[in-house]
Structure 1
Amino acid sequence: MNPDLDLTLQRIIRAPRAAVWHAWTDPAKLAQWWLPAPARCQVDRLDPRPGGAFVTRMGDADGAFVPHLDACFLVVDELERIVFTNALTSTWRPATPAPVAMTATITLTDHPDGTDYRVLVQHGDPESRAHHEKLGFADGWGLVTAQLAAVAEDLAAR
């Protein structure tokens, strides 16, 4: 982790890794938590494998959806790690321009209370990191992580 280039988030989710993994890799579940409420998410493509597409749209109360994320998965280690980037689109073309070019690593490990969930978002330069932080990284990713926790904990309770 490079504090000049990277942003991080860590949370204990009170659900087993399998439930968190399912919430991340099932399009219907991802749509429930991927964007900060009250925004709505439409998952256009979710192919969690190396080289697979990760494409979502964002909707508001009037029902209109606009592009949100066009990215690709780089690494997918079942139940352990997901790495994706928006520097390449879902078709593996360089993103031009990438909104805030980043590579995100999601790591899941066992914890006595459930899952230790960690996010590392890497940027190419300090300006991109600062811009992402200014856009509300802590609040936005914090809120969606809380929403993820709610979905995963609900799955675990069933």
Structure 2
Amino acid sequence: MSTEQTTAANGFSYTLTRTLDAPAAKVWRAWTTAEEYAQWAHAAAGSVEMDVRPGGAWKATMVTPDGGQFPLTGSYLEVAEDRLLAIGMDVPGKPEPAAMTMELDEQDGHSTQIVLRQTCDTAEECDMAEQGSTMLLDSLSAFLAEKTGD
């Protein structure tokens, strides 16, 4: 996996790139189907709701390794099936949602390059968001590896 962190004019940003051993449609389904997302993204059972369309809402209650739970909400800003998902995440105390972009580029019908990008207000927020996204990509990779026979 490659990672890049930069300071942009409007904040701090990171880009994570990884090649997954699955076609883009399978990666898309894992990220946009509530049942699959809950399995790999450490969400509490029954907490994930997704209306995957521009302006559609999503919510999930994430479970930390120590058993803590925290609710997340947001909306979909841009949706291009099997290619692009721009997600707005509501941040308490901030007027604008934090946006994360997921891009998929199918390589050969068997593997897909995924690129996650996010810009944050502070270096600390950026580091925390990057750590969370890295954990998501690790979990997604493991989930897809288990489903290779599907």
The Cα of 1:107 is off from its aligned counterpart by 0.3
Q: Deviation string for 1:112-153 (max 9, x for gaps)?
A: 460000001123xxxx24122343x34321121011122223
What is the match of residue 92 of structure 1? none
Q: Deviation string for 1:49-99 (max 9, x for gaps)?
A: 1111111112368977442x1110011100001001124xxxxxxx5414x
What is the match of residue 117 of structure 2? 120
In 2, Cα distance between the equivalents of 1:62 and 1:154? 24
SS at match of 1:22: helix
Q: Which contiguous aligned blocks of 4+ residues in structure 1 show a shift greater than 4 angstroms? A: 60-65
What is the match of residue 142 of structure 1? 134
Greater fraction strand? 2
Q: How high is the sequence identity, in percent, across the aligned residues?
A: 25
Report if the CA contact (8 A) 1:72-1:86 is conserved.
Answer: yes
1:19 to 23, 26, 29: 26
What is the match of residue 126 of structure 2? 133
**Are residues 1:152 and 2:149 paired?**
no
Equivalent pairs counted in the alignment come to 141
Report if the CA contact (8 A) 1:19-1:156 is conserved.
Answer: no
What is the match of residue 6 of structure 1? 13
Gaps of 5+ in 2: none
1:51 to 28, 49, 55: 55
1:79 to 74, 77, 82: 82
Q: How big is the alpha-carbon RMSD for the aligned residues of Structure 1 and Structure 2?
A: 2.9
TM-score (norm 2): 0.78
Gaps of 5+ in 1: 88-94
Report if the CA contact (8 A) 1:52-1:73 is conserved.
Answer: yes
SS at match of 1:131: helix
In 1, Cα distance between the equivalents of 2:142 and 2:62? 20
